[in-house]
Each structure stands twice: as C-alpha cells, then as structure tokens.
Structure 1
Amino acid sequence: MSTIRITKQFSFETGHALYGYDGKCKNVHGHSYKLSVTVIGTPISDTTNAKCGMVIDFGDLKKIVTEEIVDVFDHATVFNKNTPHVELAEELAKRGHNVLLVDYQPTSEMMVIDFAKKIKSRLPKNIKLFALRLQETDSSYAEWVASDNA
C-alpha cells in the first residue's frame, strides 16, 4: 500500500505584539492566519472499516486541529508571558478580552512550533505529522516540516 499525504486548511483571526521588536510589530495588531496541516500515513485497507481508503478522516483531523489550535487562538490576543506585556494582558482580560499568555515570542515561527507539538500529541499512532504551514499574510508564512526536526 502507498504512503499518502493529506492536507486540511484552517483559518483564524489572532492578535499579538512582539515585545522588544524594532519594527511596527511591537504594536498590538492582528492577522487572518491560514494554517495548512499535512499528515502522512497509509490508507486503511480493512474493507469492514467505515473509513476504508482513508489515511485519516478529514473530520477527525479537523476535530484535533480545531480543539487544539483554532478554538484556542481564534479571536485571542497572544503575548509572551515573560515580558511587560503581561500588564496589558491582565487589563485586557479584566475587560473581557480573550488573552493567551505563552512562554515564547508569538511570531509565526514560534507559533508553528507550538502547534506542531499540540497536533502531534493528538494524532493516532499510525499517522504522522508531515508539515505545517502558518500563513500570516498573503506573502508571508512559516513552515514546520517533520524531516527538518527529526
């Protein structure tokens, strides 16, 4: 049986600020992120299995990514918890805003590393995360590829 890669795409809106950055992104701003999740495996060959012919049901992959990433990050503002942005985060949270404090600078590069860890922990044993692509703007994205991180 052949090894196959499948990809599902997701979208979400997230705000962030990069503390200590020397450009405009030091200011609180947001992006319409697009996340492509590619997994790799062998299609199920058991004809008695309702998911015969699938590497993983797209619905099952959607559930994992939605619970781990989209539902958490959509319409949230992300700050590094180890910066003075914590004061701003606390004030926003008091006012009912969805604020996430992470232990990294919330760049696309660091977010995609975080996302890879979260998704990998939820995949069935026979399915491997192959790659993630987190698109921040129409012309800018970060990629995580399993073979680069072996």
Structure 2
Amino acid sequence: MPTWTLNTEFKFDAAHFIDGYDGKCGRMHGHTYKVHIAAKSHKLNPSKYLKSADMVCDFKELKWAAAEGTKGGLDHTVLNEELPVSTTAERIAEYIHKETQTRIPDGIELTVTVWETETSWVEYTDKDV
C-alpha cells in the first residue's frame, strides 16, 4: 500500500502560565515553541489551493499555528486566553493536533511534536504507535 508522510516544522512565540502549578511555571512566562508535524496518508488529496488529488494535504494547513493570533494562529498570544485546556506542553500538542485535524482531509494520521525548550518536548498522536 502506498504511503506518504509529509513533514513540516515551524516556531511560534507565546506566553503562558500553568494554572495551579506550585513553582515558577505557575507564573506568566514565555517560550519560543518549536513544532514538528508528520502527516501520514495512504492516498493523495486535493486541497483548497489545488483541486487535483496530488498532495497529502497543504503545508499551509499544517502550519496554521505559526500565524499571529490576530490571524487565527498562536504566535504572540497568551496561550491561556486561546486554549480551552491547561497550557502544559502535553495539552498544547494535543490542541494543535485536534485543531489541525479539522483543517485537513479525513484519513490522515498526524503526529505532533512540541518543544517547549531545546531539551524538553512532547509527542502526541491519537493512534497507538
């Protein structure tokens, strides 16, 4: 069975605090988040930018979170004001995954990796690996 895995990385800057955290992460602070998204598909699809079925999905749809907050992304936002969940790295990865799924064709398996620092990251998928 043919398989394509589309990969992209981007960064965004945002502030947050972890509500209820007993320590410095409970206070407002910022990060330059790095995000890697892998999109795996067994078929090619059209997109809103290309009508023929020649791509897994559009890179633009995978990189939505890199846009400024005023344009629907997460860049230069306070994550506590944007996300309906706690702003731990785990929940940020889960949120980006779920929001990205709504923007791409059905049947694409996503893996989202979020680095909060150069040495600390989390990977999220809704599939067993």
Q: Which residue matches 1:107?
A: 88
Q: Distance in 2 between matches of 1:102 and 1:51?
A: 33
String of CA shifts for 1:30-81, please: whole Å, max 9, x gaps: 111011010011364xxxx8774x434xxx22x21333x22221011122xx
Counterpart contact for 2:16–2:78, Cα < 8 Å? yes
Show structure 2 runs of 5+ residues with no match: 45-50, 68-72
Q: Which residue matches 2:42?
A: 42
User: Which runs of at least 4 in structure 1 moved beyond 6 Å after TM superposition?
Assistant: none
Check if 1:64 corresponds to 2:44: no
Q: Which residue matches 2:47?
A: none
Q: What amino acid sits opposite 1:117 in the alignment?
A: K
TM-score (norm 1): 0.69
CA RMSD, 1 decimal: 2.4
DSSP 3-state at the match of 1:115: helix
Q: Distance in 2 between matches of 1:133 and 1:70?
A: 14
Q: Which residue matches 2:100?
A: 119
Q: Distance in 2 between matches of 1:3 and 1:19?
A: 41
Show structure 1 runs of 5+ residues with no match: 80-99
Q: Which has the higher helix share?
A: 1
In terms of Rg, which structure is larger?
A: 1
| Identity over aligned pairs, percent | 27
**Deviation for aligned residue 1:5:** 1.4
Q: Which residue matches 1:23?
A: 23
**Deviation for aligned residue 1:10:** 0.9
